[in-house]
Amino acid sequence: MYVGDMSKQKPAPTPIKISIPDAVMNLARRVKGLEDKSMSQLKAIEQKLGDHENRFIEDAPDMDQIAEMFKLMGSKIDGLMERLAEVEKRNDIKPPKKKGGTVKLADLAEDTPNGISFS
């Protein structure tokens, strides 16, 4: 490694000598500054975590309401199925035969009353 001409390099600066009490005070100031900065950052993190926790708790779904909703939907579906069965029975309507597990719209269109369109 080439360092260059030694005569052109600047000499290393001589360290400034300070007393031990002054050095301890400088070190204490730096430590205090780091402590203050760390504490403010920790408080900001705690605040953000607290906000997220509150938001999670406030926005949590009520499981009883969800269960009640599904129960209500089930009873409505049961009622609709009963009404559909009654209409089919009274009007002698038969559902289209399934071919391969699917029903084509063309098959539905053949048996539909006038005024109802599947297109």
Per-residue pLDDT of 45-76, as tens digits, reads: 998 888 877 777 777 777 888 899 999 999 99
Per-residue b or e along 101-111, where b marks 16 or more CB atoms closer than 10 Å to that residue's CB: eeeeeeeeeee
Does residue 35 carry a pLDDT above 90? yes
Rg (CA), the chain: 41
Is residue 92 included in any domain, yes or no?
Answer: yes
**Overall domain count for the chain:** 2
Which residues span the domain enclosing 71?
62-96
Longest Cα–Cα distance of the chain, Å, equals 114
Distance of alpha carbon 98 from alpha carbon 78, whole angstroms: 23
Is residue 28 included in any domain, yes or no?
Answer: yes
Residues 81 and 48 placed together within one structural domain of the fold: no
Average pLDDT rounded to a whole number, residues 64-92: 88
Boundary-marking domain end, from 36, 60, 84: 60
100: alpha, beta or left? (left if phi > 0; alpha if psi -120 to 50): left
Distance of alpha carbon 21 from alpha carbon 23, whole angstroms: 5
pLDDT the model gives residue 18: 87
Averaged confidence pLDDT in the chain? 79
The partner residues of 102 in beta bridges, in order of sequence, read: 99
Is residue 46 included in any domain, yes or no?
Answer: yes
Average pLDDT rounded to a whole number, residues 108-116: 59
Boundary-marking domain end, from 44, 60, 76: 60
Distance of alpha carbon 81 from alpha carbon 75, whole angstroms: 10
